[in-house]
Amino acid sequence: MKVVKQLTILVISFSVLFISCSTVPLTGRSQLSLIPDSEMLAMSFQQYDQFLDDSEISNDREAVEMVQRVGRNIQHAVEKFMREKKLLDRLEGYNWEFNLIESDQVNAWAMPGGKVVVYTGILPVAQDDTGLAVVLGHEIAHAIAEHGNERMSQELLRQAGAVSLMVAMNSKPAQTKALWLGIYGAGTQLGIMLPYGRTHESEADHLGLIFMAMAGYDPHAAPEFWQRMSVNREGEAPPEFLSTHPSDETRMNDLNSWIPEAMQYYKKQ
């Protein structure tokens, strides 16, 4: 009887994993996706609003306008890309928002639903619209590729089996909130980080390069931006933004290998 019960649990577990998969746009990689989009969006909107309430929103008009301008351009490129790939339904429920937060952190992040934050600390490294497009293309690519859902699914499965995000939130709200913020890079001020893996970072680099090119920004600026990030942290511990990113050499090689593909999108603009 005990063996039958264990086998039943095993079969159910494998069934959940089998049917709860999605595919990353562009790369085609299959990924674990246990959490319904409706739950991801609800959690995203709730935590984003809470984060803004607890943060100092910048009143630097010129910098705010730059973030808004570049953000909207990347947004339109993403929508065009998803439309061309017949994946526009994956943006259903998105309510794009771009905010600049006063902080020395060299950081930026994007949650599902188009909820984006840029920290003022990264602007000197970005330097201009094109540099910022590298950052936003990369971070928004994480959201579009549903890397957060994948990380959340992996962690929830590890902790409690295939449990609903909302069930977890109701039963352990503090822990689930911390997990969420840690995954999306918003938990650094709390000392919480559950970062994306190297595969996720590589996919975000690739997809982000396409997004910035489609938005009219020269993809050749991407290796230059990441080189500035490398110089910026020389002799120091890497900022949270780079804690699990590929090595400088690997990233440069990959970006340079993808630039010809991205230029095909750039030339169409």
pLDDT in tens, 101-140: 999 999 999 999 999 999 999 999 999 999 999 999 999 9
How buried is residue 240: exposed, middle or buried, by Cβ count under 10 Å (0-12/13-18/19+)? middle
User: What is the C-alpha to C-alpha distance for residues 175 and 188, in angstroms, rounded to an integer?
Assistant: 15
User: What is the C-alpha to C-alpha distance for residues 121 and 30, in angstroms, rounded to an integer?
Assistant: 35
pLDDT in tens, 165-213: 556 556 666 666 666 666 666 554 444 445 567 788 899 999 999 999 9
User: Whole-prediction pTM value?
Assistant: 0.80
Runs of H (alpha helix) within 32-146: 37-53, 61-84, 123-126, 129-144
